[in-house]
Structure 1
Amino acid sequence: MTSMEHFPYPEEKLKELGELILCRESQLSALLAIFGERPHLSFPSIFIYGQTGTGKTYVLQTVLSILQLPHAFVNCVECFTSRLLFEQILNQLYSHCPSPENEYCSYERCDTFNEFVRLYKKMIQCQELENETIYIVLDKAELLREMEANLLPAFLRLQELTQSNVTMIFLSEIVWETFRPNTGCLEPLTVYFSDYSKVELQKILSSNYPEEYSSDFYASYINILLGVFYAVCRDIKELRHLAALNFPKFCEPVIRGEAKEGDSHKLWRNIEPHLKRAMQTVYLREISSSQWEKIQQEDREASQLKGLSAHAHVELPFYSKFLLIAAYLASYNPARTDKRFFLKHHGKIKKTDFLKKHEKTSNHLLGPKPFPLDRLLAILYSIVDSRVAPTANIFSQISSLVTLQLLTLVGHDDQLDGPKYKCTVSLDFMRAVARTVNFDIVRYLYDFL
């Protein structure tokens, strides 16, 4: 930690931070420089942004706890109203914990920002923190835009309004230019957390190796894991989960005595098909790790698994499955073929009647095509036996499929012709989903006529 010797903190604390926070040296140095000494006046507001899984929350929580700085750490997902947000901040600063003894009440009711400022000043006097910098951290801060318009500008000027040494820290996945309110506000100091590189992910994941195995053996496993998943997943939390989930399978040949820790070729052949099957559940939390292992055991015993096991889809809602089927058909079928596949009494239409001369390549090789929302709903109504009303429930399920990255929103929300989507799943994945609702999707695909 020679690069941080000049910081006004105990050397053992800086050393501990260096051991706990890997591959974020520049961001850590920037934060320590901004914080400065405890009694010194700090910057009024800091905006930390970056993609999910880049260490923003972890680094900040670690720094505040290791250095024992007075702070409140609040997630805006949990505090979806201004009152909940104010009371949660005050509860932490007053060291008040809602419990059965106090009937789960907050320290004090706080409905407005003026009341929050008054109670905050009172807290400083009670806790004798006049000479300390207090840090208030708001995680998932982009949700503040959905609250009162004056809330974000007021938080940015909290140091000025309270006339105290307080620093507001906002953690977000969007850039400040998108976050900035239209009413005008005090500009925060921005700190960017870039995505981890493959080398950095290798270093971080390899540091948590099991004691019963050597570090080199676990590092070789992480190298294989990243070789499979790095192209589709950069989220360190997801990769850590996948590493813990699949490591027992990697160790099987060593435990049975069929291979040694250095036999990388044998270990790779054993784990490769398992990792390819596990890749179908990246970012999906429909099943727990134990359930996934049970499914894998059943599939190994059956020895007839092709693609993703259909059992992994039982938790998807009924209409979400049909929405996904309709989206896949809309992505890979030309729009002019919808009449043939989905319209009753369409008469006899030969494939050559609507086959264009330049169509010599399979649509599945060309990739999914974007489609409008009204076409998706039209196909959905055709393939579902009972009439489905376009309710908010249906639209929320479409949003859920986009969140799960099974569908991709193409273009911007402000398009005049409405949103367009693309289906991002594979054919094997889609056939497994369709089998759970007894739908023969191949009969409705243009490439298989």
Structure 2
Amino acid sequence: MPVEFEGYSWGHDPADLENLKKRTPCRSSQIEILLQLFGEAAHYTPPALFVYGHTATGKSCIVNGILRSLKLPHVPVNCVECYSSRFLYEHILNNLPSSDTNTRCDNMNDFVRLLQQGIQQCQLQDQTVYVVLDKAERLRDMEANILPAFLRLQELTGMNVCTIMLSEIVWEKFRFGTGFSEPYLLHFPDYSKNELLEIMSLDAPTDYPAALYGNYINLIMSVFHLVCRDLKELQHLASLNFSKYIEPIEKEEATVNDFRKLWKNIEPHLKKALQTIYLREISSSQWEKLQQEQDSASLNPIPASRSHVELPYYSKYLLIAAYLASYNPVKSDRRFFVKHTTKTRTKPQTAKAKKHERASNHLLGPKPFPLDRLLAIFYSIVEGKVAPTAIIYSQITSLVSLHLLGPAAGEDQIDMPRYKCLVSLDFIKSVARTVSFEVTRYLYDFA
């Protein structure tokens, strides 16, 4: 049976926990479980806790917030910054309360011994010392003995030490070999739509009525919730576009109750934002510059086409690159996508031969292409420099799941996956128009 915590004398200001609950709504059950597990300062806790959930679900904020509110001795560690075992050991030892900041440590045996001595020197034998490892999945890339040892720090040191591991992946991905001590698992589930609305409403500006901002948040969620569930991304989108939403009010063209007029003003702006739903692809300043350029070009608008789905900005370029790879012969890549190519003398083709070649490219259907060719064309046609991040690869997977790309059969799919573009010429033309790209200039059949 879980221990009830209402009767405990925590030795802290109760207002701190109340403020934490107000800052992190919809997480009361997780906060109560953690309070029950921590107990009072002198109570023994589980040797290890494993807290997992997707990004922006409140794991780090709540765990560190409770430890600070209860004034419990703890050492927060970012495993991305402490990328080697030596940095990890020294960071923990040097950040103990009242500890020496020049401790050197190179291996696990010395770390266990020095941690035991450090706890005794700080006179923390009668309290639980918490080691909070954020981004704990990085431990899997270090020495094989690190993860089992951190799970057994309480046993190895003989002290009341609790290791809290925060991760975005499930515990099953950590298991390997032997010597593991199973931690207590605590899951932070994704926020529901109503919970996201409740949390985002906390950011309401004081200059405008709460009802106005609540209506604005509902509009944001109606547009973006199907393609984005990340709280941080949604909060960033809301803060970035709010000035556009209240633009008619500031110009005295509408009142705070003219929701229809405010929606008509913000609707095209939000639809453009769908092209860069994850704004880490481009910076906020680049996004604002893009909007200004598109607003200045709105005097000569391009007729909108309804024959394409809404795609992120770089997904459109990936789809265009896939179409070019499917319908252009490999020998033409140097001609279209490599700058400063030397002209080669070719034999003149008759009209009949050209017509037959054109039929072989478009009328016979798309041809499979390898992933490296797709990326090479993509980096050649996309505007600006784009880093080869995991987001680009994940967008290729999204195009496959939308049946815009299809995997091609082959024996070497693991080493070099191959794909085919499944969209029509009219479809790719409509997608290319949204990014002002003349796709026919790069098609072999129309060049």
TM range (shorter): 0.7 to 0.9
Decide whether aligned partners of structure 1 residues 268 and 192 sit closer, same or farther in structure 2, where only a CA change above 3 A counts: same
Q: CA-atom RMSD, angstroms?
A: 4.0
User: Which residue of 372, 388, 391 maps to 2:370?
Assistant: 372
Once the two structures are TM-superposed, the CA of residue 433 in structure 1 deviates from its matched residue by 6.8
User: Which residue of 47, 53, 60 maps to 2:63?
Assistant: 60
User: For 1:74, what is the secondary structure of its paired residue?
Assistant: strand
- Per the alignment, residue 338 of structure 1 pairs with 329
Residues 151-198 of structure 1: per-residue CA shift (max 9 Å, x gap): 101111111111111111111111111122233411111111111111
- Per the alignment, residue 187 of structure 2 pairs with 192
Once the two structures are TM-superposed, the CA of residue 41 in structure 1 deviates from its matched residue by 0.5
1:19 corresponds to which letter in structure 2? K
Query: Partners in 2 of 1:149 and 1:71 — Cα distance?
Result: 25
Is the contact made by 2:136 and 2:167 (CA closer than 8 Å) also made in structure 1? Answer: yes
- In the TM superposition, what are the counterparts of 1:71-90 in structure 2 within 5 Å? 71-90=74-93
Residues 25-65 of structure 1: per-residue CA shift (max 9 Å, x gap): 22112211211221110001111111111111111122122
Is the contact made by 2:325 and 2:373 (CA closer than 8 Å) also made in structure 1? Answer: no
Is the contact made by 1:87 and 1:109 (CA closer than 8 Å) also made in structure 2? Answer: yes
Task: Work out whether 1:276 is the aligned partner of 2:265.
Answer: no
- In the TM superposition, what are the counterparts of 1:111-122 in structure 2 within 5 Å? 111-122=106-117
1:373 corresponds to which letter in structure 2? L
Task: Work out whether 1:407 is the aligned partner of 2:408.
Answer: no
- In the TM superposition, what are the counterparts of 1:243-254 in structure 2 within 5 Å? 243-254=238-249
The size of the alignment, in residue pairs, is: 398
1:408 corresponds to which letter in structure 2? T
Query: Partners in 2 of 1:151 and 1:380 — Cα distance?
Result: 41
Task: Work out whether 1:31 is the aligned partner of 2:29.
Answer: no
User: Which residue of 206, 210, 213 maps to 2:205?
Assistant: 210
Bigger CA drift: 205-214 or 252-261? 252-261
- Per the alignment, residue 140 of structure 2 pairs with 145
Task: Work out whether 1:257 is the aligned partner of 2:252.
Answer: yes
Once the two structures are TM-superposed, the CA of residue 144 in structure 1 deviates from its matched residue by 0.8
Once the two structures are TM-superposed, the CA of residue 19 in structure 1 deviates from its matched residue by 1.4
Query: Partners in 2 of 1:82 and 1:423 — Cα distance?
Result: 46
User: Which residue of 328, 331, 347 maps to 2:319?
Assistant: 328
Once the two structures are TM-superposed, the CA of residue 216 in structure 1 deviates from its matched residue by 1.3
Task: Work out whether 1:155 is the aligned partner of 2:153.
Answer: no
Bigger CA drift: 114-123 or 275-284? 275-284
Task: Work out whether 1:266 is the aligned partner of 2:261.
Answer: yes
1:5 corresponds to which letter in structure 2? E
Decide whether aligned partners of structure 1 residues 12 and 252 sit closer, same or farther in structure 2, where only a CA change above 3 A counts: same
User: For 1:285, what is the secondary structure of its paired residue?
Assistant: helix
Task: Work out whether 1:46 is the aligned partner of 2:49.
Answer: yes
Once the two structures are TM-superposed, the CA of residue 290 in structure 1 deviates from its matched residue by 4.2
Mind listing any 5+ residue stretches in structure 1 that lack a counterpart?
A: 98-105, 308-320, 364-368, 385-393
Task: Work out whether 1:178 is the aligned partner of 2:173.
Answer: yes
Decide whether aligned partners of structure 1 residues 243 and 329 sit closer, same or farther in structure 2, where only a CA change above 3 A counts: closer
Once the two structures are TM-superposed, the CA of residue 401 in structure 1 deviates from its matched residue by 5.0
Query: Partners in 1 of 2:149 and 2:421 — Cα distance?
Result: 42
Once the two structures are TM-superposed, the CA of residue 282 in structure 1 deviates from its matched residue by 2.5
Once the two structures are TM-superposed, the CA of residue 76 in structure 1 deviates from its matched residue by 0.9
1:66 corresponds to which letter in structure 2? S
Report % sequence identity.
48
Residues 327-350 of structure 1: per-residue CA shift (max 9 Å, x gap): 535633684753586488796334
Mind listing any 5+ residue stretches in structure 2 that lack a counterpart?
A: 304-313, 336-345, 401-406
Residues 55-100 of structure 1: per-residue CA shift (max 9 Å, x gap): 1111112212222221111111111101111111222214679xxx
| Length-normalised TM-score, structure 1 | 0.76
1:407 corresponds to which letter in structure 2? I
Structure of larger gyration radius: 2
Decide whether aligned partners of structure 1 residues 37 and 111 sit closer, same or farther in structure 2, where only a CA change above 3 A counts: same
Is the contact made by 1:44 and 1:168 (CA closer than 8 Å) also made in structure 2? Answer: yes
Query: Partners in 2 of 1:225 and 1:37 — Cα distance?
Result: 43
Once the two structures are TM-superposed, the CA of residue 377 in structure 1 deviates from its matched residue by 6.5
